Amino acid sequence: MKCSNIVTQMQMLLLSTYFLFSPERRTANMAASGGRTVGSFLWKCGNCCFNFNTVSSNLTRQVLSRQLCVSAVLHRKNLAAAGPEKFSEEFIKKQVEEFNIGKRHLANMMGEDPETFTQGDINRSIAYLFPSGLFDKKAKPLMKHPDEVFPKQRAVQWGADGRPFHFLFYTGKQSYYSLMHDTFTKALAVEKHQDRLRGKDLFTQDAKQISLVGSRWLLKEELEELLVETISEHDYARFIQLMERLLSLPYCSVEEDFVQRYRRQLEIQSSKQQVQPLQYDQHGVAYSTGDGRRKTAMGTVLLRDSGSGSISINGTNYVHYFPVLQDREQLMFPLHFMEVLGRFDMQCSVSGGGHSSQAGALRLAISRAMLSFLSEGQVETMRQAGLLTPDPRIKERKKPGQEGARRKFTWKKR
Amino acid sequence: AFENRLAFRAQVRPLHGSGCGQQQEAVGMETRPETFSIFRTQENNPACQSEQHLGQYYTVPPSHFHTVFPHGLPPRYQQQVKTFNEGCVMVRQPALELISHLKRADYSKPTLRYLLYGVKGSGKTMSLCHAVHYFSKQGWLVLHIPDAHLWVKNCKELLPSSYHASRFDQPIQASNWLRNFRTTNEHFLSKIKLRQRYVWTKRESTEEGRPLGELVDMGVSHVKSSSDVVGAVLKELRLQAWGTEGGFRMAVAVGVNGLWGRTTLKKEEKSPVAPEELTLVHNLRKMINNDWCGGAVIATLSQTGSLYAPSSAYLPQELLGEEGFDSMDPFVPVPVSLYSEKEFESCYLYYLDRHWLQHPHSQTEEGKKELIFLSNRNPSVLERLCAFL
């Protein structure tokens, strides 16, 4: 990505001034007016000495800069925000256009082909152009499609005369109730279909069923997102109940598309494991390596087949390295679980952390190294046993005003 | 009748303490005296044990137990003996090697020194006790010093020696040791006669020709001069080694590396005490020097009690230090290794037999593999592991 010779320093400076707007300010007015002020600022600057050789005109500069600053500001996901809609439809449409144009400009800036510029490329370019030292991901500059940035909102629900469009508007949760209504209608339709078949004597119990394996119902949050309105847990439970009732009918496969719209596929976890192939050393003995981390300790293990169960850690015997029984049990767990206790020879090296975290790191390393020796089913059982999951717990940060991470200073009444 | 039988069984169960549900064996155990099992041997005399008995346990008869081993056993082993009501020792390669050397040694030449060394917990002290049992069976005079480390650290009282101005005495340790020595070697004490006159204080002295027993008694009762008594005893024994009555001797010491190196004791001026300045240590060193004949010196290195030594050190050179190594040189090193497969097997069976392994899983094959892994066949680690199973 060749960029530095195209984007001059002045431009960078100007672009970076937009990030004086703090990400916490989330008012819509900000979005509308801020862009304008900034744009005007740039316009003035553009009249002064300022030359760059990109394809951008002043207008597009304004567009690009405004898009960036707006995107960084709006992060909340408040659906059906209380009150009238903050962003009108034309506004959103304009934002989309501006985003697309800005995307093309960014592609030109980076020297890439605008047609095949994906969101991943955008993210990388923005991270390159605006490097941020901030830790919080949400505080870093971002450029995303407005649909992802602006929360989904409902269009105005009533006409010019004040009459609502939807017949269920006065229930308060019109989309939810209309969905329930539709589902029940479909259930009734299926039952009618079944009665018709019974009448024609074509009714069979073993009709084709909808396959529900590997998928799950929408979560409450996902349903809320779909309906663009808030629902209570009770409502969600009723919805699931109704869908289950629909599914209990023998001929529900008629409405398969409708049902599948409200189900999500589950990802198969174990297919994410990368199993290294076995390596063979000069004597034909199979070996494999693995490494693991826990807290601050890092360990690597070289697992050799057809051994006698001897383990050496950093050159010393494991009984001497880990005098505590608990640590040795941690080392034993993966081997014992797979019942291969006396089969492997291990050479381990570990550094950092304390004795417990070193034992945990080695345990993970041993499990990972063992993967190459095991079959798919065994890998799955290991994953379910939790042997392949790195332990994410680390020391919690100490906060100011407190003595430790959680402990507060002694409270004195006076 | 059925209920009666059940009730009888229920009463029988707590008697034998077998919670594993091995009813038949429990009832059988009460009646059998010493049935033959794979891991036990009937050969209770260490002199007659040979390679075919390797890995098997033999019982020390309870009558001998307290005379032969008043001190000197590892404390955990003593607890185990108390729990099991019997003292069983495993016949192992290092001990057998030692005993075979001793059988063939020529005692007219200067004493041979044997050094048992090995990783922590591999069974050095137990092998030593095995050898001690052999000696007592042979009728030798046993000079068993349990742990030189006991003399070199944690001593509360240090008296300036009456005999030698710059040395220090340790009355309590010395009198303890004399008492144990007396228990071990009762029959010798009357036989050996003193060859020199010893003066303890202005009023007390021991004449020539008195039996050694009297000297020892005096040392036990007069605590203040007990360290000097120890020195005298050692000197007498050394002089009379190749004795006319055929009283052979040997010296057995555990934790020899405590004799060299540093001590934790301090003089009143807070300056550290060197080991040479302690009477007991000084005398013992003279004993270990091979300038006398008619006996053997068997020593073990011990890391557990040693001061200022890293826990991974187990080789003689590291633990003895240069000075100690030079004094001990030449010696016959006897390495003590961890349990072999057969030895582990017999230890495991022994624990099972004594119902020490209560956990039902430990009786399976997988449980055994787990035990092997967790202890890496280290005897002491295995013992600690089984203690809570």
pLDDT in tens, B3-17: 444 444 444 333 433
Contact status, residue A54 vs residue A109, Cβ threshold 8 Å:
yes
Q: Say which range, A16-25, A205-214, B159-168, B171-180, has the weakest mean pLDDT.
A: A16-25
B206 φ/ψ angles, rounded to the nearest 5 degrees: -115, 130
Using the beta-carbon criterion (under 8 Å), do A332 and B311 form an inter-chain contact?
A: no
DSSP class of residue A407 equals: P
Residue found under tokens 């998928």: A215
Q: Say which range, A35-39, A365-369, B57-61, has the weakest mean pLDDT.
A: A35-39
Using the beta-carbon criterion (under 8 Å), do B374 and A316 form an inter-chain contact?
A: no
Q: Which residue of B has its CA nearest to A341?
A: B369
DSSP class of residue A283 equals: T
Report the Cα B311 to chain-centroid distance in Å: 21
Q: Which residue of A has its CA nearest to B378?
A: A319
Average pLDDT over all residues of chain B: 73
| Residue B27 to residue B35: CA distance in whole angstroms | 14
Using the beta-carbon criterion (under 8 Å), do B372 and A329 form an inter-chain contact?
A: no
Stated as kind and residue range, the H or E segment containing B10 is: helix B2-16
Of A316, A317, A336, the CB nearest to B370: A336
CA B275 vs CA A267, B157, B262, B310, B385: distances in Å? 72, 15, 7, 20, 37
Choose between B186 and A263: higher pLDDT: A263
Task: Kindly state the tokens that stand for B341.
Answer: 């497969």
DSSP class of residue A315 equals: T
Using the beta-carbon criterion (under 8 Å), do B373 and A320 form an inter-chain contact?
A: no
Q: Which residue of A has its CA nearest to B312?
A: A320
Contact status, residue A158 vs residue A164, Cβ threshold 8 Å:
yes
Q: Given a cut of 80, is residue B68 above it in pLDDT?
A: no
Contact status, residue B192 vs residue B240, Cβ threshold 8 Å:
yes
Of A320, A325, A336, the CB nearest to B385: A325
pLDDT at B365: 84
Using the beta-carbon criterion (under 8 Å), do B375 and A319 form an inter-chain contact?
A: yes
Task: Tell me whether A325 touches chain B (CB under 8 Å).
Answer: yes
Contact status, residue A123 vs residue A110, Cβ threshold 8 Å:
no
| Residue A125 to residue A107: CA distance in whole angstroms | 9
Which chain A residues are closer than 8 Å to B375 by Cβ? 319
pLDDT tens for residues B330-361? 778 888 888 888 888 888 888 888 888 888 88
| Residue A301 to residue B285: CA distance in whole angstroms | 48
Instruction: Provide the total of helices (H) and of strands (E) in chain A, helices listed first.
Output: 15, 8
Q: Given a cut of 90, is residue A105 above it in pLDDT?
A: yes
Distance from CA of B258 to the nearest CA of A (A): 22
Task: Kindly state the tokens that stand for A275.
Answer: 């199993």
Contact status, residue A364 vs residue A382, Cβ threshold 8 Å:
no
pLDDT tens for residues A319-371? 888 888 899 899 889 988 888 888 888 899 999 999 999 999 999 999 999 88
List the beta strands (DSSP E) in A35-94: none
For residues B26-47, average pLDDT: 56
Which chain A residues are closer than 8 Å to B369 by Cβ? 336, 341-342
Using the beta-carbon criterion (under 8 Å), do B370 and A319 form an inter-chain contact?
A: no
* pLDDT-based confidence at residue A373 (cuts at 50, 70, 90): confident
- Residue B142's beta-bridge partner residues? B250
| Residue B207 to residue B195: CA distance in whole angstroms | 9
Distance from CA of A327 to the nearest CA of B (A): 10
Distance from CA of B378 to the nearest CA of A (A): 8
Percent of chain B scoring above 70 in pLDDT: 78
Using the beta-carbon criterion (under 8 Å), do A318 and B376 form an inter-chain contact?
A: yes
Name, in order, each residue with C-beta under 8 angstroms of A60's C-beta and a sequence gap of 6 or more.
A101, A102, A105
| Residue A213 to residue A260: CA distance in whole angstroms | 12
For residues A143-152, average pLDDT: 87
Q: DSSP letter string over B110-145?
A: BPEEEEEEESTTSSHHHHHHHHHHHHHHHTPEEEEE
Distance from CA of B347 to the nearest CA of A (A): 19
Chain A interface mutation, best of B373, B378, B383, highest count of A Cβ atoms under 10 Å = B373
ipTM of the prediction? 0.73
Using the beta-carbon criterion (under 8 Å), do A318 and B370 form an inter-chain contact?
A: no
Which chain B residues are closer than 8 Å to A317 by Cβ? 119, 376
Using the beta-carbon criterion (under 8 Å), do B373 and A309 form an inter-chain contact?
A: yes
pLDDT at A25: 41
CA A271 vs CA A198, A274, A334, A380: distances in Å? 45, 8, 20, 9
Using the beta-carbon criterion (under 8 Å), do B381 and A335 form an inter-chain contact?
A: no
Q: Given a cut of 90, is residue A400 above it in pLDDT?
A: yes
Which chain B residues are closer than 8 Å to A308 by Cβ? none
Name, in order, each residue with C-beta under 8 angstroms of A1's C-beta and a sequence gap of 6 or more.
A110, A111, A112, A124, A125, A128
**What is the β-pairing status of strands B112-118 and B87-90?**
unpaired
Contact status, residue A368 vs residue A291, Cβ threshold 8 Å:
yes
Task: Tell me whether A33 touches chain B (CB under 8 Å).
Answer: no
Of B311, B369, B374, the CB nearest to A328: B374
Stated as kind and residue range, the H or E segment containing A309 is: none
Task: Tell me whether A145 touches chain B (CB under 8 Å).
Answer: no
Question: In terms of Cα–Cα distance, which of B152, B178, B125 is closest to B282?
Answer: B152
Using the beta-carbon criterion (under 8 Å), do A319 and B369 form an inter-chain contact?
A: no
pLDDT tens for residues A109-144? 999 899 998 999 999 999 999 999 998 888 999 999
pLDDT at A219: 92
Q: Which residue of A has its CA nearest to B120?
A: A320
pLDDT at A233: 94
Q: Given a cut of 50, is residue A18 above it in pLDDT?
A: no
Q: State the CB neighbour count (10 A cutoff) for residue A9.
A: 8
| Residue B259 to residue B307: CA distance in whole angstroms | 11
Contact status, residue A142 vs residue A134, Cβ threshold 8 Å:
no
Q: Given a cut of 60, is residue A222 above it in pLDDT?
A: yes
| Residue B211 to residue A339: CA distance in whole angstroms | 66
Contact status, residue A351 vs residue A292, Cβ threshold 8 Å:
no
Using the beta-carbon criterion (under 8 Å), do A325 and B312 form an inter-chain contact?
A: no
| Residue B168 to residue B267: CA distance in whole angstroms | 9
Average pLDDT over all residues of chain A: 79
| Residue B141 to residue A173: CA distance in whole angstroms | 102
For residues A306-317, average pLDDT: 84
B144 φ/ψ angles, rounded to the nearest 5 degrees: -105, 115
pLDDT at A271: 63
Choose between A39 and B195: higher pLDDT: B195
Distance from CA of B146 to the nearest CA of A (A): 25
* pLDDT-based confidence at residue B32 (cuts at 50, 70, 90): very low
Using the beta-carbon criterion (under 8 Å), do B373 and A317 form an inter-chain contact?
A: no
pLDDT tens for residues A65-79? 444 444 434 444 555
Q: Say which range, A167-171, B56-60, B304-308, has the weakest mean pLDDT.
A: B304-308
Task: Tell me whether A319 touches chain B (CB under 8 Å).
Answer: yes
Distance from CA of B46 to the nearest CA of A (A): 32
Q: State the CB neighbour count (10 A cutoff) for residue A403.
A: 11
Q: Given a cut of 90, is residue B278 above it in pLDDT?
A: no
**What is the β-pairing status of strands B112-118 and B295-300?**
parallel
Percent of chain A scoring above 70 in pLDDT: 78
* pLDDT-based confidence at residue A56 (cuts at 50, 70, 90): very low
Question: In terms of Cα–Cα distance, which of B277, B325, B266 is closest to B301?
Answer: B325
* A vs B: CB pairs below 8 A: 37
Q: Which residue of A has its CA nearest to B384?
A: A325
CA A225 vs CA A216, A230, A236, B249: distances in Å? 16, 8, 13, 94
- Residue A164's beta-bridge partner residues? A158
Task: Tell me whether A340 touches chain B (CB under 8 Å).
Answer: no
